[in-house]
Structure 1
């Protein structure tokens, strides 16, 4: 019967003689185990959900607000640069003038390039494949633009 009231409630002494509740100790253990050895595979199951977590899959409010703000900032950047200052970037003009053709062609080019890309490819091979993908898509859309062929709805 020599227990104090805090020990009777389940508190455990810390290193410096301080007391901690089981809930605080549990949260500390979860934080310590959040990313064992840098592996983040199952750490999402250990994190406590809160209002500020950003998840595209679950559509959290913080993600939607951030995505809307980021999209608005990029739009504003292009509006100021292109509409107010008159800047033109050839690649963006080509893809913008024939966006539907670029959308259709990029899926076909992606399928073709992906068949030559192994899943365990080294980084330089991955970047080379990405360059081939972007370059082939651009050349196809540019050839349509030079022939004045535009897909429209």
Structure 2
């Protein structure tokens, strides 16, 4: 892991950060903390819970998390590429994603019999980064093409074999092969980075909106039956069939727009978000550990007041960790 020198002076030659990306990442972290806690309480709205079919607010958080990871990876890869060259940069990325996979497996339960539950955010990001690595420095068209290949391959395996039925009853988020559609969302995030970093406000807004609307439309159209061509495809995060990641990626593009307008154009900052987004891996692990013990403190059958009070404490602990790292200028990454 790498940590900058505490209380050091920023490198004068370091490229300026894209504030909207930092805020967007913080929003994904905040959403994750909120749904992972409040979704456990029966009194909370259904939109705070994950569902096998359809899409709730909770179901959008994982795509946002992986989409913004793609944005960040494209940014860091291109910066390091200029300094270290293609081979060293690619090997460093491969090592980083491999370690992330191992961290995820340990966090989700490393016992071999638990392998069906390994396919959560950290493991999916790790494999998505590896699957995106061959084209990460290529143009947007090539990356979009590879995303389409991963989606088509997964959809064929889901539809033409027994894998689809298996993963709906035995695993989560697409299971072991779900890394393919998650890699597609990751790759779409790299394209969003290119648009966001262009600095051309006049073209940026329509480009982001066009990508978002086009992907949402593609996902919606693929869901329906095409008489004589294909049956209706499920719309499910558990199964990760093509309509879902396409629609989710489109929503990720559209969700980024307000942050660009507010932060990069308007110069505003939403309190807490940049701090939360500075150390996403640490905060993910902290909230995961806290979540494992919350039921022993506030029962899941509690009323709304107790649930919201518990969330306030849960969130403040996560934010306190993020703030301490931010204050000490420590960034922990693999």
Smaller-chain TM-score range? 0.5 to 0.7
Within the alignment, does 1:138 sit opposite 2:319 as a pair?
yes
> Could you say which residue in structure 1 is the equivalent of 2:237?
56
Whose RCO is larger (CA < 8 A, sep 6+)?
A: 2
Higher helix share: 2
Check whether the contact 1:100–1:152 (CA below 8 A) recurs between aligned residues. Answer: yes
Check whether the contact 1:113–1:132 (CA below 8 A) recurs between aligned residues. Answer: no
3-state DSSP class of the match of 1:119?
A: coil
Aligned-residue CA RMSD (Å): 2.3
> Could you say which residue in structure 2 is the equivalent of 1:109?
290
Deviates more, 1:74-83 or 1:135-144: 74-83
For 2:292 and 2:258, locate their aligned partners in 1 and report how far apart those are by CA, in whole Å. Answer: 33
> Could you say which residue in structure 1 is the equivalent of 2:43?
none
> Could you say which residue in structure 2 is the equivalent of 1:82?
263
User: How far is the alpha carbon of 1:124 from its aligned partner?
Assistant: 1.9
Number of aligned pairs?
105
| Structure 2: gaps spanning 5 or more residues | 1-224, 226-230
> Could you say which residue in structure 1 is the equivalent of 2:246?
65
For 2:244 and 2:257, locate their aligned partners in 1 and report how far apart those are by CA, in whole Å. Answer: 20
Which one of 97, 101, 112 corresponds to residue 278 of structure 2?
97
3-state DSSP class of the match of 2:268?
A: coil
The CA deviation string for residues 23-73 of structure 1, in whole angstroms up to 9 with x for no partner, is xxxxxxxxxxxxxxxxxxxxxxxxxx9627522222233322321211110
Q: TM-score, with normalisation over the residues of structure 1?
A: 0.57
Check whether the contact 2:276–2:283 (CA below 8 A) recurs between aligned residues. Answer: yes
For 1:108 and 1:58, locate their aligned partners in 2 and report how far apart those are by CA, in whole Å. Answer: 26
For 2:237 and 2:293, locate their aligned partners in 1 and report how far apart those are by CA, in whole Å. Answer: 29
| Structure 1: gaps spanning 5 or more residues | 1-48
For 1:114 and 1:144, locate their aligned partners in 2 and report how far apart those are by CA, in whole Å. Answer: 27
Q: TM-score, with normalisation over the residues of structure 2?
A: 0.29
